[in-house]
């Protein structure tokens, strides 16, 4: 790896570290991962893996390890995400440099370093940064192993693929992706490499696979109920009740159908939230006029097919009415980012002025950098205050029900699967869904209001109500 690549990775880490300082209240997924890390530190591995919503254990495990020297679980979780999310520049740079050239690789790395959608997830104590690093590393190393016919790189690629799956269930996609690479770079080495890749993957993944089998009674790729929904679809079983859920993606499908509603929602998130508007035209230009380096069309096809294949189950979520998030698009966006960079380079070349490319990159990075450093969730400061108030009044380790999971982390509480038997109830009022509004009215009639936060009220801050529950004997 070149010195330039390491400098770009350092830049990406520093940008993420600076942006992390602007987070006012942690994300709900961060709260879950930190709760998992705390249970792992206590040796309660099974309880950690069962914690809803179920997620693989790699990031919480790394958080628990880093927590030992740092002493602050939140800082440890964020540090893991910031460092691994920033270091993901290295495999992305290697992929772009091999497919195109140094200019495209540098442009792609700079765009990745500042892209707000990546920054938003890599500055939280959750799994996206960890997953991105191992997924991109396995993608690039798998191709290189087949190209160079290297046993060592095949083993490392398989290890990265297993670690990616231990970070997110979507990491299972790396197995058929390596099979695709073996077809595109077919040689006498390819069949044996496939067997070696599969063997290493199974050895590393087997402990968690056994736990999943013990919990579900079947060999499957994760504990999420969404996986079962996809399996039922291929068996001819449908779940129409899922379409009644109160989320934007379901409303879009109900109003405009799967093609227009679901497809429009997906494209709006891809070209709006993920590619940050201005990069969309360059992606289209790169797709239409890629011009890879000589002899690298197979690698270009590999990258594009990897992105397209990853998008298939995401598109199916609108058919099956499973939950959609723009965060699901981050991996295909990362795989397509070198193509967008190639389009940007192509557009700059048309001007016939050498300063056009650095100027365009500078403007893009400046605009994205301003957005990267904005305060995050300052309007939800009441969630943190509510959690800390419960911790101060009742002490840590209490049973707390909350519609905003971050409050549980600040209260030092363990997650409750339901509202029964809680010692305190937390409701973020403007964010309540219909069923949560009914629950809040019942709780308000049965229990005393302990307070409304932030206290005193602040302009623009969402009100959060805390009710007293039943104290344990």
Tell me the per-residue pLDDT of 197-232, one tens digit each, with 9 for 90 and over. Answer: 999 999 999 999 999 999 999 999 988 888 888 888
What pLDDT does 65 receive? 95
pLDDT in tens, 26-82: 999 999 999 999 999 999 999 999 998 889 999 999 999 999 888 899 999 999 999
What pLDDT does 80 receive? 97
Lookup: tokens for 17 = 């570290």
What mean pLDDT is predicted for residues 261-276? 88
Lookup: tokens for 223 = 């504990």
Helix, strand, coil % (nearest 5) of the chain? 70, 5, 25
Sheet hosting strand 449-453, strand order edge to edge = 414-415, 399-402, 424-428, 464-468, 449-453
What pLDDT does 411 receive? 93
- Alpha carbon of 94 to those of 44, 169, 184, 189, 438: distances in Å? 39, 25, 18, 23, 53
The H or E element spanning position 399 is: strand 399-402
CB atoms within 10 A of CB 237: 10
Confidence at 471, pLDDT banded by 50, 70, 90: low
Which of 51, 16, 21 is CA-nearest to residue 36?
Answer: 51
| Cβ–Cβ < 8 Å for 78, 125 | yes
pLDDT in tens, 287-322: 999 999 999 999 999 999 999 999 999 998 888 888
What pLDDT does 340 receive? 96
- Is residue 473 predicted with pLDDT exceeding 60? no
CB atoms within 10 A of CB 192: 14
Confidence (pTM): 0.94
| Mean pLDDT lowest among 44-48, 81-85, 457-461 | 457-461
| Helix boundaries (H) for 412-468 | 434-446
pLDDT in tens, 345-386: 999 999 888 889 999 999 999 999 999 999 999 999 999 999
- Is residue 437 predicted with pLDDT exceeding 70? yes
Looking at the chain, the whole-number percentage of residues with pLDDT higher than 90 is: 72
pLDDT in tens, 11-26: 999 999 999 999 999 9
What pLDDT does 414 receive? 83
pLDDT averaged over every residue in the chain: 92
């Amino acid at each position: 790896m070149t010195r330039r690549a390491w400098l770009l990775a350092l830049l990406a880490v520093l940008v993420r570290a600076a942006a992390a300082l602007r987070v006012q209240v942690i994300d709900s997924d961060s709260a879950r991962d930190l709760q998992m890390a705390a249970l792992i530190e206590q040796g309660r591995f099974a309880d950690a893996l069962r914690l809803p919503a179920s997620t693989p254990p790699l990031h919480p495990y790394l958080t628990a390890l880093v927590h030992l020297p740092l002493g602050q679980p939140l800082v440890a979780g964020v540090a893991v995400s910031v460092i691994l999310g920033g270091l993901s520049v290295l495999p992305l740079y290697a992929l772009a440099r091999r497919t195109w050239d140094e200019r495209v690789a540098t442009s792609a790395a700079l765009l990745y370093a500042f892209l707000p959608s990546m920054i938003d997830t890599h500055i939280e104590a959750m799994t996206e940064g960890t997953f991105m690093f191992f997924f991109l590393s396995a993608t690039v190393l798998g191709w290189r192993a087949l190209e160079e016919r290297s046993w060592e790189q095949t083993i490392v690629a398989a290890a990265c693929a297993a670690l990616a799956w231990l970070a997110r269930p979507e990491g299972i996609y790396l197995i058929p992706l390596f099979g695709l690479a073996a077809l595109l770079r077919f040689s006498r080495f390819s069949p044996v490499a496939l067997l070696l890749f599969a063997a290493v993957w199974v050895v590393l993944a087997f402990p968690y696979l056994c736990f999943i089998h013990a919990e579900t009674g079947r060999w499957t790729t994760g504990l999420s109920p969404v996986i079962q929904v996809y399996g039922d679809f291929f068996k001819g079983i449908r779940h129409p009740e899922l379409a009644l859920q109160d989320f934007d993606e379901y409303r879009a499908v109900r109003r405009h159908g799967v093609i227009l509603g679901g497809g429009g929602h997906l494209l709006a998130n891809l070209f709006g939230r993920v590619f940050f508007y201005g990069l969309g035209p360059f992606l289209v230009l790169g797709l239409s006029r890629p011009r890879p380096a000589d002899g690298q069309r197979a690698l270009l096809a590999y990258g594009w097919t990897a992105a397209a294949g990853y998008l298939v189950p995401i598109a199916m979520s609108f058919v099956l009415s499973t939950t959609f998030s723009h965060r699901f698009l981050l991996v295909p966006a990362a795989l397509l980012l070198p193509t967008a960079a190639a389009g940007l380079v192509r557009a700059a070349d048309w001007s016939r002025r050498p300063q056009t490319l650095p100027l365009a990159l500078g403007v893009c990075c400046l605009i994205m950098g301003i957005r990267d450093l904005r305060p995050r969730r300052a309007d939800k400061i009441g969630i943190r205050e509510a959690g800390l108030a419960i911790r101060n009044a009742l002490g840590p380790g209490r049973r707390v029900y909350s519609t905003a999971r971050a409050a549980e982390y600040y209260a030092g509480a363990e997650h409750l699967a339901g509202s029964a038997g809680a010692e305190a109830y937390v409701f973020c009022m403007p964010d309540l869904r219909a069923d949560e509004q009914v629950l809040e009215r019942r709780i308000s009639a049965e229990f005393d209001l302990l307070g409304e936060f932030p206290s005193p009220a602040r302009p623009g801050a969402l009100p959060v109500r805390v009710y007293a529950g039943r104290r344990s004997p």
